[in-house]
Amino acid sequence: MKDDFLTNHSSFCQSGQKNPAYALPSAIAAFDLFQKRISPRRPAVFLDFDGTLTPIVPRPDMARLSWAARTVIAALAERCLVAIISGRDRLEVENLVGLQHLIYAGSHGFDVILPDGRVPEHSGLLTDQACLDRAFSTLRHKLASILGILIERKRFTIAVHSRNVPPEHVETIRSVVRQVLEEENPALKLTKGKMVEELQPNVDWDKGKAVLWILKTLNVNSREVMPIFFGDDITDEHAFTRLKDNGLGVVVAGQTDYDRLTFADFRVENSDEVMTVLRCLQECL
């Protein structure tokens, strides 16, 4: 029986409520409560990559998934559905993780394909790359003089990273991104993350909708399976909100992020604690 996860969710679910991360129970210290929220259903695990499976690094090309983390994920994937939903290109994150029997979604869920080849209906709308090409060229030209700037042209998005930029130039970057967005209106939209701004196709889609599409398309029954999303970034809030009625969100928030407001249900401190929770889940299955 198909169980429709695509219920009446807005981009930020009105039935949910934001809480500071420090007020959330730890998924490790309160693992009994975490497990109780799942039981008697089985978990379906959705994982962000950067900042969740790996620590945040100065440049995206420096990220590496540890052997220990890969081992935990592989063991869990033998027992339940596991998917990686990343801002990176799908093929890139697939190569970084290097595991079969997982579902991979890139570009914040815009680039998602199931093992049998099925893709979301909107995928046909993303074939025109001209606006992204123009925006990328303009951004490189206007921001070329800023020290530490990193502009990534991904398959369906453009990421403008300011992590290594002197603070006095960050507002300039934001202003230029807004100008380019206006020039390409209405073809593109803006999504903000931690020290990154991304231009994306102006399609009603995000990580949360990608998760729900995967669940629905695979005929996952919500009475039998509990979807759980682990993520650290602002973009992961879409997944937390869309799972608010039918799943769990676990935010990765260390001490510097304790005051962050989030729709998640539990928290962990870092990627090592994510692995601890995944290991505990695997042992319970």
For the stretch 11-41, pLDDT in tens is 333 346 899 999 999 999 999 999 999 999 9
Q: What's the average model confidence in pLDDT over 46-56?
A: 96
Look at residue 273 in the predicted model and tell me its pLDDT.
98
Look at residue 58 in the predicted model and tell me its pLDDT.
87
Check if the beta carbon of residue 24 is closer than 8 Å to that of residue 266.
yes
CA atoms within 13 A on the CB side of 229: 32
- In whole angstroms, give the CA distance from residue 214 to residue 183: 33
- In whole angstroms, give the CA distance from residue 80 to residue 85: 16
Positions marked active-site: 48
Spatial strand order of the sheet with 248-252 comes to 111-112, 103-106, 82-85, 42-47, 225-231, 248-252, 266-268
Please say if the pLDDT value at position 3 is more than 90: no
* Beta strands in the chain, from DSSP E residues, in sequence order: 19-20, 42-47, 82-85, 103-106, 111-112, 150-153, 158-161, 188-193, 196-201, 225-231, 248-252, 261-262, 266-268
Please say if the pLDDT value at position 9 is more than 50: no
Look at residue 173 in the predicted model and tell me its pLDDT.
97
Res. 59 pLDDT band, cuts 50 70 90: confident
Look at residue 127 in the predicted model and tell me its pLDDT.
63
What integer best gives the mean pLDDT of the chain?
91
- In whole angstroms, give the CA distance from residue 152 to residue 160: 6
Q: Of 115, 114, 73, 78, which Cα lies nearest the Cα of 97? A: 73
**Poorest-pLDDT segment among 9-23, 35-49, 113-127:** 9-23
Q: What's the average model confidence in pLDDT over 138-148?
A: 97
Look at residue 245 in the predicted model and tell me its pLDDT.
84
Look at residue 124 in the predicted model and tell me its pLDDT.
65
Res. 7 pLDDT band, cuts 50 70 90: very low
For strand 248-252 and strand 261-262, is the pairing parallel, antiparallel, or unpaired?
A: unpaired
Please say if the pLDDT value at position 1 is more than 60: no
pLDDT in tens, 216-267: 999 999 999 999 999 999 999 999 999 998 999 999 999 999 999 999 999 9
Please say if the pLDDT value at position 5 is more than 50: no
- In whole angstroms, give the CA distance from residue 10 to residue 12: 5
Distance of CA 187 to the CA centre of its chain: 22
DSSP-assigned states of every residue in 71-101: HHHHHHHTTS-EEEE-SS-HHHHHHHH--SS
All domains of the chain in start order, with CATH: 32-110+205-284 (3.40.50.1000), 128-201 (3.30.70.1020)
Check if the beta carbon of residue 245 is closer than 8 Å to that of residue 13.
yes
Exposed/middle/buried for residue 182 (C-beta within 10 Å: 0-12, 13-18, 19+): exposed
Check if the beta carbon of residue 222 is closer than 8 Å to that of residue 3.
yes
- Report field, pTM of the whole predicted structure over 0.85: yes
Please say if the pLDDT value at position 117 is more than 80: yes
Res. 212 pLDDT band, cuts 50 70 90: very high
Res. 145 pLDDT band, cuts 50 70 90: very high
Helix/strand/coil for 122 = helix
Q: What's the average model confidence in pLDDT over 206-220?
A: 96
pLDDT in tens, 87-108: 999 999 999 999 999 999 999 9
- In whole angstroms, give the CA distance from residue 55 to residue 106: 18
